[in-house]
Structures are given as structure tokens and as C-alpha cells.
Amino acid sequence: MLGEIPRSKARKAVSIIYQRDSTGTSPELKWTNTPQQSTRDLPQFAIESFQLPNEVTEGENATANVTIANKGNSTRTFRGLIESRVGDNGNWGGVAPITSRVRPGQSIQQNVSVNSSADGSVSYRLAPFNQTKTVEYVPPTFALGRSYTTTENVRVTVSNLQTAQSVQISGKDSRRTPPSGERFVLAKVQAVAVGESEGTPRSGEFALKANGRTFSQEDGLTNPLTSPVEGTPYGGVYDPNSGRTYSWYAVWTAPEQISTDAMTVQWTSREESSGVQGESARWTKDGSNSP
């Protein structure tokens, strides 16, 4: 049992009572004692440094570097907790404890691994202090022509990113042109099932990003493309045959002034029933996070 009373009253006799019923009756039990006067040395913990990387690839751990100082005059054990929350709202949840004995006038430094299943911005703080850091979790990034294997056992490769003022498709009204000031952007997407899989990435899950903007795949392209490339507009398949290579072309429209050097092709899976976003990967010209 722990209680707190003013220091001035602690110099006199202190009583603890046990009261079963209303406070208007006499207590059933009563203990009285006079506290012994004494002092003891105490620690005074302070945070000197709390560092996290600004950006971490989704699925990888981030390393928190923590430095705690003891500015008091007694060796004691510091007990802290790194907490996290997604974005700027919501409840904080414990991620990793920190425990270490610190001598007076000295500091301890610890590296602690933290991880998050979320994408986007995740905030971290070190309790009992209130200092926070934000980590941006970004999709794994590959150079065009390189492959990423999804959790559905599908190896996906994006390549041959190019632009065109028009596209030709088979059938009537075969020539398609984009709105004025824009042009088509095409990328080849190949998918190979490397194990048991329920399906390749679905149509509409590939987006084109550039200069802070996102462009969706072109609607209405169902017939095979004949120029400037020959192939099928992206569709995706369920239950792909293991080892078979499926090839399509994803097509977007984007402003003419945007260079392919500034473009990112990003795949983000979505739960079919709820639309909730999940796994993600992206491709740039040289595989850098900032094309």
C-alpha cells in the first residue's frame, strides 16, 4: 500500500484505519505510528538524446538510439518505454522497454530495435519523457527491370517505361489519344508464380507517381495494344500456374512536361472487399527512393 501526505504532517503521528461501513461510524481497525525522519539520495534521470531514422523501408526494423543521463546523486535503475502510434492521433502503445542502471553524473546509451506493420508516418516517444520522433515507412524500391516477390508468391517485374502521344489497339476506333497537354505512359509488367498463389496483383493496383501527384491506370483499354508496343492491357489473373510468365502493359496519362526520370510506378495491394491497403512496392529508373 502506498500513500502520499504533506511533508509537514509526516513529522507527526500518522494513522491508518480500516472502515467497513459509513464514515459516520467508528473504524473497525486503526494503526498509528510516527514516521522516522530520514533522507536518502535519489537519482534524477534526463534524456540527452533520442534519435530515429527519418525513413525506413516497410517490413524492416528501425533502430532507436537513446542516451539517458543521471543528474542525481544515487545509482539507480532507469526504466523507460518506447511507445508508438500511427500518424498524429490515436493511442500510444508500448513497443520496446529500456532498462539500465545509471551511476550519478554518468550517461548510458542503448540501441533499441523497433518495428511497425503500418506504412506511412509512425510517431515514437520515450516514456516517461515526452520527446517524440517520426519515421516514414516507405515501400521497398527497385530499379526498373528488377523484381519483387509478393507475399502471394508472385515475382513481379516492372520494366520498359516509356511515353507515347497515342496508342493503337486492335479493332475499330483503334487509335487513342490523350487529352491536350498530356501523353500516355506505358510500363511492361510481368508476373511469375513462384509457389502456391491465389493471384497476381489485380488491375488498378498499379499507380504512376511523379512530382507529388498520383495517376491512375487508363480506363477503357481492353483490346490488345498494337503500337507503340504489342501486348495486353494489364488485367491480372487468379490462381496463376506455377512457373508461367504472365505479361501485360499498364497504361496511364500524365502531363507532357513530366520526365520519365521523375516517375515512380507503385503497386499497392488492396483488400478486395474492404479496399484496405496492404503490401506495397515501387519501381524507379535507378531504384532510388527519390526519383
What is the rounded average pLDDT of the residues 254-275?
Answer: 84
172-198 b/e (C-beta count within 10 Å ≥ 16 → b): eeeebebeeebbbbbbbbbbbbbeebe
What is the rounded average pLDDT of the residues 221-231?
Answer: 91
Residue 235's nearest CA partner among 244, 225, 222, 226 is 222
CA distances from 117 to 42, 167, 255, 266 (A): 39, 40, 34, 19
pLDDT greater at residue 218 or residue 154: 154
Do residues 100 and 78 touch, judged by C-beta distance below 8 A? yes
What is the model's pLDDT at position 222? 83
Task: Quote the mean pLDDT of the chain.
Answer: 87
Does 176 score more than 60 pLDDT?
Answer: yes
Beta-sheet pairing, 213-215 with 277-284: unpaired
What is the model's pLDDT at position 37? 67
Q: Which of 62-76, 203-217, 269-283 has the highest mean pLDDT?
A: 62-76
- The per-residue DSSP string of 195-214 comes to SS-SBPPPTT-EEEEETTEE
| Three-state DSSP class for residue 260 | helix
Q: Which domains does the chain have, with CATH numbers?
A: 45-138 (2.60.40.10), 141-284 (2.60.40.1240)
Residue 93's nearest CA partner among 105, 81, 103 is 81
pLDDT in tens, 95-104: 999 999 999 9
What is the model's pLDDT at position 291? 52
Q: How far apart are CA 124 and CA 148, in angstroms?
A: 29
Among 25-29, 154-158, 220-224, 236-240, which is the least confidently predicted range? 25-29
Q: What is the DSSP letter of 26?
A: -
What is the rounded average pLDDT of the residues 17-40?
Answer: 77
Q: How confident is the model at residue 6 (pLDDT cuts 50, 70, 90)?
A: confident
Rounded to two decimals, what is the model's pTM? 0.67
What is the model's pLDDT at position 88? 75
Do residues 218 and 236 touch, judged by C-beta distance below 8 A? no
Express as a percent the part of the chain with pLDDT over 90: 57
pLDDT in tens, 107-131: 999 999 997 766 778 999 999 998 8
- The per-residue DSSP string of 96-116 comes to EEEEEEE-TT-EEEEEEEE--
